[in-house]
Amino acid sequence: MGKSIKHYWDVLQGKAPADLLIKNVKMVHPVGMVIREGSLAIADGRIVGWTEMPAHKVLDGKGAYLTPGLIDSHIHIESTMLAPTAFARAVIPHGTTAVVADPHEVGNVAGLEGLRWMMSQGAEAPFRFFWAAPSCVPASPLDTPGAILGISEIATLLEMEDVVSLGEVMNYPGVIHGDAEVHAKIAAAKSRGLAVDGHAPGLSGRDLFTYAAAGIETDHECTTLEEAEEKLRLGMLIQMRQGSAEHNLETLLPLVEPCWWDRLLFATDDRNPVDLSEIGHLNEHLRICVSKGVEPTTAVRLATANPARHYRLEGLGTLSPGSQADVVLFRDLANFDAETVIIDGEIICQDGEFVASFEHGTPVFPTSMHVKGLTPDALLVRREGDIVKVIKVVPNQVVTERSHYRVPDSPVVAANVREDILKIAVIERHHGTGNVGVGFVQGFGFKAGALATTVAHDSHHLMVVGTNDEDMLLAAQTSIDMKGGISVVRDGEVLATLPLPLFGLMSDLPLATLVERFKEVHVAAKKLGGSLEDPIMQISFLALPVIPSLKITDQGLVDVDTFQHVPLFGE
């Protein structure tokens, strides 16, 4: 029995004072879903019990509600554009103390080297980062990956400390049709007692039976109640998502009833820095739930005990004696504004201000841009028929619909602003292949200019949408010159930029500065026209060839329903 354990045991037996006593609080117990008034004693970073006792430090909760720290069951840190330590600083003030992060964005760009960098960065923060080993790098064979994580790389990751699951298995066709490597990755996680996360948008019937039978346990892609109910009946857990571009929580709230309480989790998946700063993190999930009639104790359970139990996060998610002392004080159970956040028994944040040391250096990772063949000819679409397929954006969703456009009788097909038919291009940036996939998209509503970004799920090539080739080329070149980032151009003028020097995905700026720059590019994007709430987040999913229905990669247009490339021309 080590010194710390002995001290903790002495505190339990009343032979020594606790390190911290939090008195005069209403404790929200997610197990049993009850609220009890009293005090909480902490020693050596763990909960002693619910009793008043001598302590070296006393914190008067003044009637606040005390819950376990909130746990996000599925997030891509990269979507926040923050390095892991900066991300921790952004979410701790909202009551989040742990996340299960799937770093497959970095994995797609930089492989094992990039993933090790992410994990080492996370280890610098007083925060609990748990990791999912990215299962689909590349996400599909329909584009050009920056890196490949095969079974040997996955096995290496699964042995790493704080890796708790196999990341979302997006290659559901591979699961259904018995792809040997996909099933080997699932088996590798299962053999180690780790969870297996899913990604199966719209999957139903026999295909879904096959997917679930492979051992995949969760899904965060449900956009309808019927889809979620079918997956629940098959034994899967549903991660109710509320991200920046994906607003699915309210649709799925009818699931929150006794028969499913232990099968539901919260996830943000993708969250931009402005939303983190101004709206919050999982505390937004709690606010929405309670505002729609969900009992606060039930909502808290979905944000704490359920993810901790599913991912086997020992000692987290409850207020039980022996649990890790990661707790949050909320003034009320309506707004869920965190007053005090305690991690490992240490007061980290009070009233939104950090009171514990949070030192970290400026993160650095070399990012290269290998783009070849970006000439005016690369964006030309020569007429090869009367009709072109068009990607139709669905606002606030990652899925798309398909449409068609009857082209004018001219040798070259250009954008048609009047009919909201814009040009879209994906430019390979990792290996200098010269690949450029060009197509058309509807739903952005731009009246002029172009928007370029190196955040383009999942291979993260350089992506640009615009009303004319000249502005598209300028926006693309501007992002290249920044070694990654977002560029907004109109009439030959660069309106705004956001450099993302870490993998072309993340900033090295602190949150407040990043938010300011992020807002600048959003304001500039709005000046191009259109009514999309978040055009930057929306464009980033148009290159993801594993979410229906029509997408585009550096190799061309993809019909996700049939999982194959399709010609641009024709119905």
Across 517-556, b (16+ Cβ under 10 Å) vs e yields bbbbbbebbebbbbebebbbbbbbbbbbbbbbbbbbbbbb
Confidence of residue 362 (pLDDT cuts 50, 70, 90): confident
Distances (CA, A) of 269 to 78, 100, 196, 515: 10, 10, 16, 19
- Cis bond upstream, residue 275 (ω within 30): no
The better pLDDT of the pair 181, 140 is held by 181
Identify how many contiguous H helices and E strands the chain contains and give both numbers.
Answer: 16, 28
At 293-347, the pLDDT tens digits run 999 999 999 999 999 999 999 999 999 999 999 999 999 999 999 999 999 999 9
| Spatial contact of 22 and 61, defined as CB atoms under 8 Å apart | yes
Identify the pLDDT of residue 360.
64
Cβ atoms within 10 A of the Cβ of 265, count?
26
Q: How far apart are CA 452 and CA 475, in angstroms?
A: 5
b/e per residue 333-356 (b: at least 16 CB within 10 A) = beebbbbbbbbbbbbbbbeeeeee
pLDDT tens for each residue of 259-304:
999 999 999 999 989 999 999 999 999 999 999 999 999 999 999 9
Pairwise CA distance, residues 414 & 424, whole Å:
11
1, pLDDT greater than 60 = no
Angle among Cα 229, 233, 236 to the nearest 5 degrees reads 90
Among 121, 65, 78, 69, residue whose Cα is nearest residue 98: 69
Count other C-beta atoms under 10 Å from residue 32's C-beta. Answer: 11
Query: What Rg do the C-alpha atoms of the chain give, in angstroms?
Result: 24
Return phi, psi of residue 9, to 5°: -65, -40
The 10s digit of each residue's pLDDT in 487-545 is: 999 999 999 999 999 999 999 888 899 999 999 999 999 999 988 888 988 899 899 98
| % of the chain beyond a pLDDT of 70 | 99
Residue 228 phi/psi, 5-degree rounding, is -65, -40
How far is the CA of 219 from the CAs of 2, 237, 548, 570, in angstroms? 41, 7, 15, 34
Length of the chain: 571
C-alpha distances in Å from residue 283, one per residue of 102, 251, 461? 21, 18, 33
pLDDT of residue 528: 97
Structure tokens at 393: 């954006």
428-461 pLDDT, tens digit per residue, is: 999 999 999 999 999 999 999 999 999 999 899 9
Angle (CA) 309-310-315 rounded to 5° is 30
Tell me the C-alpha distance between 467 and 394, whole Å.
19
Rounded to whole angstroms, how far apart are CA atoms 462 and 427?
A: 5
Relative to beta strand 218-219, strand 237-241 is: parallel
Contact 344, 325 (CB under 8 A): yes
The secondary structure of residue 254, as a DSSP letter, is G
Q: Over 80: is that where the pLDDT of 245 sits? A: no
Separation in Å, CA 232 to CA 263, 274, 482, 504: 7, 33, 45, 37
Q: Which of 224-228, 241-245, 287-291, 401-405 has the lowest mean pLDDT?
A: 241-245
Peptide bond into 549 cis (omega under 30): yes
Calculate mean pLDDT across residues 344-351: 96
- pLDDT band of 357, cuts 50, 70, 90: confident
pLDDT tens, position by position, 144-177 = 999 999 999 999 999 999 999 999 998 888 999 9
Residue 33 contacts residue 297 (beta carbons within 8 Å)? yes
- Distance, first Cα to last Cα, the chain: 71
User: Tokens standing for 540?
Assistant: 């980033």
CA distance 219 to 222: 7
Has residue 60 got a pLDDT over 70?
yes
The sign of the torsion formed by the CA atoms of 296, 297, 302, 307 equals: positive
Q: Which of 498, 496, 569, 550 is nearest to 527 (CA)?
A: 496
530 close to 204: Cβ distance less than 8 angstroms: no
- At residue 233's C-alpha, the angle toward residues 231 and 237, to 5°, is 55
C-alpha 225/C-alpha 233 separation (Å) is: 12
pTM beyond 0.75, yes or no = yes
Residue 87's pLDDT is: 95
Distance of CA 479 to the CA centre of its chain: 23
Q: What is the DSSP letter of 362?
A: P
Tell me the mean pLDDT in the region 81-87.
94
Residue 2: the pLDDT is 42
pLDDT confidence of 546, banded at 50, 70, 90?
confident
**Element spanning 287, H or E:** helix 282-291
**Whether 452 contacts 433, CB under 8 Å:** no
Domains and CATH numbers, the chain: 69-317 (3.20.20.140), 376-565 (no CATH)
Mean pLDDT is lowest, of 186-200, 286-300, 366-380, 480-494, for 366-380
Cβ(25)–Cβ(37) below 8 Å? yes
For residues 102-117, average pLDDT: 96
